[in-house]
Structure 1
Amino acid sequence: MRVPGILISTLRSFSLPTPGAGLVRTRMLGSFTRCMSSKRKMDHLERTASNYRQNALYPAEVCGMINESETVKRLRIAVHPDFSFKAGQWVDFFIPGMETVGGFSMCSNPGLLQREGVIELAVKYTTHPPAHWIHTMCALGSRVDLRVGGNFFFDPSPAEPSVDLLLVAGGVGINPLYSILLHSSDLLRLNRTAGGQGYNIGSVHICYSAKNIQELLFKHSIIEVCQEFPDKFSCGFHVTQSTDVDQHLQPFVNCGRITPAELQAHVDPKRTLCYLCGPPPMIEAFSQTLMDLGLPKDRILFEKWW
């Protein structure tokens, strides 16, 4: 995936040191914490303390920046050759000289990392120190350290039976789901190249809600994927504030929130695997709706972002 107009720095002389003595060791726990609630706002490391984390802390360098919307900045980051992640995972984001550690989901997919040696993060502006640094101080050439974590991912093997994916996103919760969407399309291309002997990819439908059209991130790229594979991929965008919609987007945009009826149209209790990402109230409401529609609890996976 290439980002039109993104500012790319020269990487010919750029090399990242090999992780060695600087490796950070953490506990690696397999259980995913489904209920995380507290009156005190926890930071990223507290919220994800029980999540899986890789052992290594990798150096990285910002090599591209673009304004994805008025409030969201997308970074392209060159990473160490040993860096790897699964579609849907996040990184602990360490900024030199800053005590607070950020937590941001990759919006790019593993295929981009394999092809170009980079990952991408789309970060919404807030006063939280890491996000504030990204929007006000980060520049081409800025160095950071990254550590991959998260139990929320899509990483099928060729031998697994196909599933139908239902991806439901609110706001910047689109990031890991966009990664999963792009990864699914990459696997489908591999499958077609292999003459149907590769990955078993079912249907993929993405329901995405944001405040307005401008805050619907990656909308044009999502539509392009759906148009490339019209028999497999589909999307429905929702805006909660009335706004003018470009003619190109009109067939895909609905005014108002995601409805149970739209979810029901894409739920098969035996085939559907649903990934949810967004604010906690949205996750809780849709989890209950999906269970009411007959989708088993163990087929509803979610990531809550505050």
Structure 2
Amino acid sequence: MEVNKISAKVLKTEFLCNNIKLIRIKVDNSKDFLPGNSIALHINDSQKYFSVIYSSFDYVEIMVKLSDSKSTSFIFNELKENDVIEVSGPHSKAFDLSHSDHITFIAGGSGIANFLYAVKYLYENKSAVYVNVIFSSRHPEELVFKKDLDNYSKTPNFKVHYIVTNSEPRINQGYLHSFVKDNKGLFYICGPKTMISDVASYLKNLKVPEERIIYDKY
């Protein structure tokens, strides 16, 4: 199926830490992007998908982590303000945030990008959903958007939990036990493949039904 590409302008690039950047892109259909959607950047005859971390009336924002991928490295190092690129989307299925009264987002590293828009959306719309965010990262400087997340956690039904794995144990079954509320909540997971497999296995061992465990590997 042919992808409908549109021209878009880079409005802003900003370092969040030494290996993670925020990129703001002006797109005409920004209002079509919902929490859980991604956008594809078509660069040098290749395409790379990124979770949309925020969508405004005329732009979307993505988070790019430097990697060994040639296309990702180009986007991280070479894209500049006012560059015109081709994009497509929305891609990926939007999250269904209206059918559970308890949602736990579990992110490993840059996997937090998959959930930032959803968490912000629930916060700004004063949702009654009880939200837990478990954000695990190897280094403290990679806990990006911590200031925003800490602000959300001032709301009674929002709780944010950080784990820095170079100085603390990784997420394990014992740690997750307290987040399982009668197995009725939804658990969204995003991170490296091994982290996804381990966390999903822990939740299943804690009797969370498989249909309530939703994950995305990167």
Normalised TM-score (structure 1):
0.67
Which structure 2 residue ranges, 5 or more long, are not aligned? Answer: none
1:196-275 equivalence runs, <5 A = 201-227=128-154, 229=155, 231-242=156-167, 255-275=168-188
Question: 2:30 & 2:14 partners in 1: Cα distance?
Answer: 26
List per-residue Cα deviations over 1:212-233 (Å, max 9, x = no partner). Answer: 1011111111011111x1x100
Q: Residue 183 of structure 1 corresponds to which residue in structure 2?
A: 121
Q: Is 1:141 paired with 2:82?
A: yes
Q: Residue 189 of structure 2 corresponds to which residue in structure 1?
A: 276
Q: Is 1:113 paired with 2:56?
A: yes
CA shift in 2, pair 1:295/1:161, >3 Å: same
Contact 1:58 1:83 in 2 (8 A): no
Question: 1:75 & 1:267 partners in 2: Cα distance?
Answer: 35
Q: Work out which of the residue numbers 92, 100, 106 in structure 2 matches 1:150.
A: 92
Which structure 1 residue ranges, 5 or more long, are not aligned? Answer: 1-24, 27-54, 192-200, 243-254
Runs of 4+ in structure 1 off by over 4 angstroms are none
Q: Which amino acid aligns with 1:165?
A: I
Question: 1:101 & 1:81 partners in 2: Cα distance?
Answer: 19
Question: 1:155 & 1:161 partners in 2: Cα distance?
Answer: 7
Contact 2:183 2:207 in 1 (8 A): no
1:76-95 equivalence runs, <5 A = 76-81=24-29, 84-95=32-43
The count of residues paired between Structure 1 and Structure 2 equals 217
CA shift, 1:102, in A, is 0.9
Normalised TM-score (structure 2):
0.92
CA RMSD of aligned residues (A): 1.8
CA shift in 2, pair 1:161/1:71, >3 Å: closer
Contact 2:102 2:184 in 1 (8 A): yes
Larger radius of gyration: 1
Higher relative contact order (CA 8 A, sep 6+): 2
Q: Which amino acid aligns with 2:75?
A: I
List per-residue Cα deviations over 1:5-62 (Å, max 9, x = no partner). Answer: xxxxxxxxxxxxxxxxxxxx55xxxxxxxxxxxxxxxxxxxxxxxxxxxx64332111
CA shift, 1:136, in A, is 1.9
Question: 1:174 & 1:82 partners in 2: Cα distance?
Answer: 21
- Structure having the higher strand fraction is 2
